[in-house]
């Protein structure tokens, strides 16, 4: 596709970086008008966005290094070189989510905000921003799918794309677009649910369950290196199952609080 949109001298604008930035902007602009209903001031809001961004960047890169370690090179020097050579690509979403959640929980508690209500507010913007990011993946050629004979299969021909060289020109599942579409659907469902009365934590639960199911299924169609499999599951599928289990535990606790009044 178009891993680099244009060059100006030695500067090049990477499509993935641009779409990721647009995703954060879209999520923030969606959430910003709703601040008055939450009691969160603008400074705190932008701090939350910044913490989410840094946590996502660090966590997603760290998990990528962990799951891709065997593929990064034969020697430690080669692995380090490949890690630091290009920070535009090579991220695993679940790693970013885990680190961001930890950092955000710490900050939310520090500011003495209601944890679940704040999470419900923030989480609606996540799938919207993530959809932009997956379009960036599509343009860059990362996170590509397995070969397919389906009529909607896509081919990548740019040698600078991140598709494996042997798969250039081969029809592949557009897994990036599958996930972009799934995230947009999830965003609209969460947006609709957030407009109604709901118990604290319910929007968060719906997101975690919805994304975990979607990611678990899409992983079967991914053609890039997925890390070492555990009981036939990729690391992302294992994390998706763990996240879904955590969401069910939280759902049980939310229901228990409701029953107790």
Compute the distance between CA of residue 197 and CA of residue 106 in angstroms, rounded to an integer.
Answer: 27
Compute the distance between CA of residue 104 and CA of residue 254 in angstroms, rounded to an integer.
Answer: 20
Q: Count each helix (H run) and each strand (E run) in the chain, helices first.
A: 9, 2
Give the highest mean pLDDT range of 170-174, 230-234, 235-239. Answer: 170-174
Measured from the Cβ of residue 5, the count of other Cβ atoms closer than 10 Å reads 13
Its pTM stands at 0.87
- Known binding-site residues equal 134
At what angle are helices 175-194 and 125-140 packed, to 10 degrees?
A: 170
Judged by DSSP in three states, 9 sits in coil
The stretch 198-212 carries a mean pLDDT of 94
Compute the distance between CA of residue 43 and CA of residue 48 in angstroms, rounded to an integer.
Answer: 9
pLDDT for 12 equals 73
Is pLDDT at 129 greater than 70 in this prediction? yes
Compute the distance between CA of residue 203 and CA of residue 120 in angstroms, rounded to an integer.
Answer: 5
Compute the distance between CA of residue 61 and CA of residue 92 in angstroms, rounded to an integer.
Answer: 6
pLDDT for 84 equals 66
Q: Which residue has the tokens 């042997």?
A: 166
Is pLDDT at 82 greater than 70 in this prediction? no
Burial of 125 (0-12, 13-18, 19+ CB in 10 A): buried
Better-scored residue on pLDDT, 180 or 69: 180
At what angle are helices 93-110 and 42-68 packed, to 10 degrees?
A: 150
Is pLDDT at 66 greater than 90 in this prediction? no
The stretch 129-150 carries a mean pLDDT of 93
132 close to 19: Cβ distance less than 8 angstroms: yes
Is pLDDT at 192 greater than 90 in this prediction? yes
Judged by DSSP in three states, 164 sits in coil
Judged by DSSP in three states, 2 sits in coil
Is pLDDT at 171 greater than 90 in this prediction? yes
* Band of residue 89 on the pLDDT scale cut at 50, 70, 90: low
pLDDT for 207 equals 96
CA angle, 91 then 95 then 96, to 5°: 75
Joined together, the tokens standing for residue 221 give 């169609």
From residue 100, give the alpha-carbon distance in Å to each of 52, 107, 183, 217: 5, 10, 18, 24
Joined together, the tokens standing for residue 197 give 């009365």
């Amino acid at each position: 596709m178009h891993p680099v949109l244009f060059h100006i001298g030695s500067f090049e604008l990477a499509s993935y970086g641009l779409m990721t930035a647009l995703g954060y902007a879209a999520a923030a602009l969606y959430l910003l008008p709703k601040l008055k209903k939450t009691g969160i001031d603008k400074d705190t809001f932008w701090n939350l966005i910044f913490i989410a961004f840094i946590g996502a960047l660090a966590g997603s890169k760290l998990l990528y290094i962990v799951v891709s370690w065997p593929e990064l090179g034969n020697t430690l020097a080669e692995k380090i070189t490949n890690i630091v050579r290009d920070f535009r690509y090579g991220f695993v979403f679940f790693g970013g989510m885990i680190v961001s959640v930890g950092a955000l929980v710490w900050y939310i508690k520090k500011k003495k905000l209601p944890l679940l209500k704040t999470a419900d507010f923030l989480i609606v913007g996540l799938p919207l921003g993530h959809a932009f990011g997956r379009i960036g993946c599509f343009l860059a050629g990362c996170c590509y799918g397995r070969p397919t004979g389906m009529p909607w299969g896509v081919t990548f021909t740019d040698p600078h794309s991140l598709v494996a060289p042997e798969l250039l020109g081969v029809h592949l599942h557009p897994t990036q677009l599958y996930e972009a579409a799934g995230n947009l659907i999830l965003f609209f469902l969460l947006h609709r649910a957030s407009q109604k009365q709901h118990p604290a934590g319910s929007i968060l639960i719906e997101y975690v369950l919805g994304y975990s199911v979607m990611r678990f299924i899409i992983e079967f169609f991914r053609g890039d290196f997925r890390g070492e499999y555990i009981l036939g599951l990729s690391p992302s599928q294992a994390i998706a199952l763990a996240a879904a289990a955590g969401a069910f535990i939280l759902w049980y606790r939310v229901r228990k609080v409701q029953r107790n009044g």
